[in-house]
Chains A and B, each alone.
Chain A
Amino acid sequence: MTESLSRIAAMLLRHYYLFRGSWTRIFDLMYWPVLQMVIWGFITVFLNQHSNWFAQAAGVLIGAVLLWDVLVRAQFGFTLSLLEEMWSRNLANLFVAPLRPYEFGLSLMAMGIIRSAIGVVPAALLAIPLFHYSIFEMGLPLLAFWSMLIMLGWSIGLGIAALLFRFGLAAESYAWASIFLIQPVSGVWYPVDVLPGWLQPVAWALPTTHVFEGMRAVLINGTFRWDLFASAFALNILYLALGFGAFLYAFARARQRGQLLQSSE
């Protein structure tokens, strides 16, 4: 157990060195969340002046953009940490060391949290002086939403890692595009009942829908919906199990095909 934690720590140290030697990477992590927050902040200001509904639900859009970025940055953080190894042709070095695949997976998950925090926390802090909106005022529900979105980011990251093990860097575009496929049906900006009836079951199969409906319940009605939290958690456990299964299966197949030594295109 201690040795296992030590190897995971070594992988985190590898990424710390990477950040320490390249400040532009940290700036890059913060850039899009801050930009999105500023854009949606001004839209909120405009809508507040022209809509009673938005005036009553101040912060719904800024809260949504910040929470959505938690998910996006968690998935990107996970996937990017794997891509760093593939771009630098380092995978074989890692897997001939005593690093277990699950330890590697756990280190990627930890990097998902770290990269997500580096990206989203500055944007959340900047929203306070700019728009007089603090997402932290949500209190404990924020922690619940955050943890559910991080878990889904891991699941999608694990699935994309499976594709990268199978297809190499030829699958790189999925790393950046996949997450946005679920955005229209996740109820990020609008309630799920806006969607056509046949699409709503798809939406409710995603943990994100439960999180964003839950967020609106907190911000608009002032109530935390335990039912939504429980269903988001159950769905996340299912997707994490599927993601880890796909990750370990793809890794085993990569060992059979010899793709770990030459994991390029």
Chain B
Amino acid sequence: MPSLAINVESLTKIFVAGAAPAVDAIAFSVPPGRICGLLGGNGAGKTTTISMLLGILVPTSGRIELLGHDMRRHRFRALPQINFSSPYVDLPGRLTVRENLTVFGRLYGVRDLAARIAELARELELGSLLDRKTGSLSSGQKTRAALAKALVNRPALLLLDEPTASLDPDTADQVRGLLETYARREGAAILLASHNMGEVERLCAEVLMMKAGRIVDRGTPDALIARYGRNDMEQVFLDIARREEA
């Protein structure tokens, strides 16, 4: 296993020549087994960063290495070991949850797929939903189905954008527990973009604070809270956002 699941150097994305970069020369790394939080307000560059990591957006400059593979040259070597979920994408609504998981399991080349789907259904409490059309599910149920798709190939690197959005507190808590267990059991790295500061405090060993395309601060949640003299990550988030604007 490579020593770093994610290694990003001088990563920059400029959508329009002459305009401010959407992501501006960021650098960070995440080792296997660690959950790292990516925090920032709307337009901070979180989704752009995740899109570049996934290979669906080409960086203007910089280097991305995932699981030891250079994403510019060997993207398809890394992709079978990566997965993601995001509120910007859906699973096909006219397929059942089981059908969706079967299709994506086959795309990822998952062996013993039926057993893997049964396992995911148990862990994410999807058993009664497996044969329902994905489009007929509530938003919380869809989020769980999307998480099942994100875990179907047992990824060594998981990129999650708002993974517990739309979930009730009880289910969200179960999902956080599942992600903690998954990262520990599989030695998987997770990069998590979230606006839920409680979630970030609970899950993340390291937090990257983004603003205007840059990483403006980083550290463990406890270290950031202590550095800013605040009581929790929500206050730190607000502090950084408002201090920078002044």
Contacts and interface: CB of A to CB of B under 8 A. Distances in A.
Interface of A: 3, 6-7, 9-11, 13-14, 17-18, 21-22, 84-85, 88-100, 252, 255-258, 260-262
Interface in B8-40: 15
B74 to A, nearest CB: 12
Given A6-B109, A98-B108, A261-B51, A17 B86 contact: no
A256 B16 CA distance: 11
B182 interface: no
B106 A92 contact: no
Interface in B46-72: 47-48, 51, 54-58
B93 A88 contact: yes
A95 B84 CA distance: 11
Nearest to A264: B88
22 contacts: A6-B109, A7-B106, A7-B107, A10-B103, A17-B103, A21-B99, A85-B92, A88-B94, A90-B89, A93-B149, A96-B79, A97-B104, A97-B107, A98-B76, A98-B107, A99-B107, A100-B76, A252-B58, A255-B58, A258-B15, A260-B56, A261-B47
A28 to B, nearest CB: 14
Given A95-B56, A98-B80, A255-B58, A89 B108 contact: no
A11 B91 CA distance: 13
Contacts of A257: 15
Contact of A14 (B88, B93, B95, B108): B95
Given A88-B93, A93-B104, A97-B79, 15 more contacts: A3-B109, A13-B102, A14-B103, A17-B102, A88-B94, A92-B86, A93-B91, A95-B56, A96-B54, A97-B108, A255-B57, A257-B15, A261-B47, A261-B88, A262-B88
Contacts of B51: 258, 261
A16 to B, nearest CB: 9
A258 B88 CA distance: 12
Contacts of B80: 98
A100 B77 CA distance: 12
Contacts of B54: 92, 96
A96 B104 contact: no
B48 A89 contact: no
B90 A88 contact: yes
Contacts of B76: 98, 100
A21 B108 contact: no
Given A96-B54, A258-B51, A22 B94 contact: yes
Contacts of B218: none
A88 B92 contact: yes
B164 interface: no
B103 A21 contact: no
Given A97-B104, A98-B107, A88 B56 contact: no
Nearest to B149: A93
Contacts of A97: 79, 104, 107-108
Please indicate which of the listed interface residues A3, A90, A94 has the most CB atoms of chain B within 10 Å of its own CB: A90
A255 B94 contact: no
Contacts of B107: 7, 10-11, 94, 97-99
Contact of B57 (A3, A14, A90, A261): A261
Closest 5 CB pairs of A and B: A10-B106, A88-B92, A97-B107, A17-B99, A89-B90
Please indicate which of the listed interface residues B83, B86, B95 has the most CB atoms of chain A within 10 Å of its own CB: B95
B7 interface: no
B96 A21 contact: yes
B151 interface: no
A232 B83 CA distance: 44
B236 interface: no
Contact of A9 (B84, B90, B94, B106): B106
B106 to A, nearest CB: 4
Contacts of B86: 92, 261
B176 interface: no
Contact of A18 (B57, B82, B89, B95): B95
Contacts of B79: 96-98
A98 B109 contact: yes
